[in-house]
Amino acid sequence: MPIGKQIIGGREYVYEYRSVWNKEKKRSEQKREYIGRVIDGEVVPSKGQRLKQELKKKGADKGCKRLFAGAVRLFDMIGKATGVAKDMKACFPAFHKELLSLAYYLALEPSLPLYRFKRWASSHRHPYGRDIPSQRSSELLGRITEASKMSFLRRQARRRSEAEYLFYDSTSISSYSEQIKQVRYGKNKDGDSLAQINLALLFGQESGLPVYYRKLPGNITDVMTIEGILAGIDYLEIKKAGLVMDRGFYSEKNLNAMFSRGHKFVVGAKMSLKPMQAILVRERGKFGRRENYDKGTGLFMRSYPMEWASKEGRVVYVHIYYSEQLATDEKAQFSRLLDGLEEDIALGKRSEGRDKLYSKYYEIEGVPLKKAKPKQGAIDEAQKNFGYFALLSNDIEDPSKALMLYRSKDMIEKAFSDLKDRLNMRRTSVSSEENLEGKLFVQFVALIYLSYVKRAMDRAGLFKHYTMQELFDELDVIEEYVQPGKPAYYGEITEKQRKLYSALGFQLHT
């Protein structure tokens, strides 16, 4: 509970504040309880407090308990290994245990809202050790300041290797709250227009852990976010970052911004760009040669060093790849599009969003549409790049290594999936700006724990035998026994459970 002090008549009094729900007024209110006086720099408890302490010592307000603690124990060890527990205490000294308990709950009880915390807390050991009512959790989320949040992210960044590449991407979160300023109508990854906010995330390649996040207005496109994320990296004091991102983030301006800060990058690029087209005009016939075939990926690939036009002496490696399977798939998809256009023309109708495509690929006669002649030149132009894709890097010369790194960025897609599906972030589910900021932070902390477990399970080959939830369930049944006046102790732990802890990198001594 928050502690406050007040000086009255030259004497310093100490109070404990707590939130209570006023059923009649239907709102949360602050209540305070007198704790004692400060004398010679120390708090001297009041008579009532001394009585409470005596009763507590005698065990009058505390009975024997059996609590599930195995999965929570794993999280305790992860918190120590990653420094999360220490950094949370440093950044949120007054309520770090409560925030950690909320993060544990979100990670271990998938898709459940915060107001269900009481039921979980009554049967599980957790850092705070008590219930956190819904009103209290809302208050906690509102108390997470930007300065404290950024201090935590900075501390965590210092614990990571600067040598690792960082995957960068964004996702959309639906919201219809009128109180959240950054809610805007924008298109999600599926092209649907929704009221939403965007969330940008940096994710470490080697650590397998999230590093940094930013909340953005829902109508901001990916390409516009780079300057902001680079400013965040500057704050984290990562001097020479390596960034991996898809082609939605590509622009000459963004590459120049990364060059100017000394950062490495691997970025997807559209084949329609002039440098890629110039290479294909010159080299297209060479891609099918056996010497360019990579057995590991089943792709044809070539790399071309190119002097970056904006800055002398700066080289970018243009890696171009060709996949026969991708070419077949893209041609089949394009054929389905043309089939749909021709069907519309035959029926004399226009489908929404296709207006430009009718005239691009067909010479149309009559209004409404009656018949059309295919523009073969335009169709051939659209098909000529099928099967090709490109990556740009100022660091990696080998096209195979660049592709391997780029493909491993699916880790960030899995992280977004955990945020949305397991951590209940598909919608914002809060009404105020302050609570949204706080909830995003707690979900980010929970994601660190989940990502650590996922990385450890992957390295140990545990996904062959368990889902993440099955692993948690296997450990969760381990009990902790609490008795008045005695140290808590764990119940029986099977050899199977010990091996799971060990596979995840932790040895049990008791």
Q: Cα 135 to the chain's mean position, in Å?
A: 26
Q: What is the pLDDT, as a whole number, of residue 5?
A: 73
pLDDT tens string 392-444:
999 999 999 999 999 999 999 999 888 888 887 665 555 555 688 899 999 99
Q: Give yes or no for residue 55 having a pLDDT over 70.
A: no
Q: Over the chain, what is the mean pLDDT?
A: 85
Please report the DSSP string for 10-56 in residue order: TEEEEEEEEEEEETTTTEEEEEEEEEEEEETTEEEE-HHHHHHHHHH
Q: How confident is the model at residue 14 (pLDDT cuts 50, 70, 90)?
A: confident
pLDDT tens string 336-345:
999 988 888 8
Q: How confident is the model at residue 140 (pLDDT cuts 50, 70, 90)?
A: very high
Instruction: Report percent pLDDT > 70 for the chain.
Output: 86
Provide the strand spans (E) within 92-157. Answer: none
Q: What is the pLDDT, as a whole number, of residue 379?
A: 93
Q: Give yes or no for residue 179 having a pLDDT over 50.
A: no
Q: Cα 335 to the chain's mean position, in Å?
A: 37
Q: What is the pLDDT, as a whole number, of residue 462?
A: 97
The domain boundary, picked from 57, 75, 103, lies at: 57
Q: Of the segments 75-89, 244-258, 278-292, 485-499, which one has the largest average pLDDT value? A: 75-89
Predicted TM-score of the model (pTM)? 0.78
Domains in the chain: how many in total? 2
Buried b (16+ CB within 10 A) or exposed e, 305-328: eeebeeeeeeebbbbbbbbeeeee
Residue 337 lies in a domain: yes
Residue 505 lies in a domain: no
Residue 451 lies in a domain: no
Extract the tokens encoding 350. Answer: 């226009």
Range of the domain at 366: 326-383
Residue 508 lies in a domain: no
Please report the DSSP string for 177-224 in residue order: -TT-TT-EEEE-TTS-EEEEEEEEEEEETTT-SEEEEEEEETT--GGG
Q: What is the pLDDT, as a whole number, of residue 305?
A: 92
Tell me the torsion sign for CA atoms 462, 467, 469, 471. negative
Supply the angle between the helices 146-158 and 84-91 in degrees, to the nearest 10.
Answer: 150
Q: How confident is the model at residue 209 (pLDDT cuts 50, 70, 90)?
A: very high
Q: How confident is the model at residue 182 (pLDDT cuts 50, 70, 90)?
A: very low
Q: What is the pLDDT, as a whole number, of residue 330?
A: 95
Mean pLDDT computed over 128-148? 92
Q: Give yes or no for residue 90 having a pLDDT over 90.
A: yes
Q: What is the pLDDT, as a whole number, of residue 58?
A: 52
The domain boundary, picked from 383, 404, 422, lies at: 383
Alpha-carbon distance of 112 to 106, in angstroms, equals 7
Mean pLDDT computed over 448-455? 96
**Range in 6-15, 21-30, 33-42, 170-179 the model is least confident about:** 170-179
Residue 504 lies in a domain: no
Amino acid letter, residue 324:
E
pLDDT tens string 153-172:
999 999 987 778 999 999 88
Buried b (16+ CB within 10 A) or exposed e, 147-164: ebbeebbbbbbeebeeeb
Q: What are the residues whose beta carbons fall under 8 Å from the beta carbon of 322, sequence distance 6 or more?
A: 287, 288, 299, 300, 301, 387, 388
Q: Give yes or no for residue 180 having a pLDDT over 60.
A: no
The domain boundary, picked from 362, 383, 404, lies at: 383
Residue 85 lies in a domain: no
Alpha-carbon distance of 126 to 98, in angstroms, equals 9
Residue carrying the six token digits 């219809």: 176
Extract the tokens encoding 351. Answer: 């489908």
pLDDT tens string 256-301:
999 989 999 999 999 988 888 888 888 888 888 899 999 989 999 9
pLDDT tens string 321-376:
999 999 999 999 999 999 988 888 888 777 777 878 888 998 877 655 556 789 99
Residue 216 lies in a domain: no
Residue 185 lies in a domain: no
Alpha-carbon distance of 257 to 285, in angstroms, equals 35
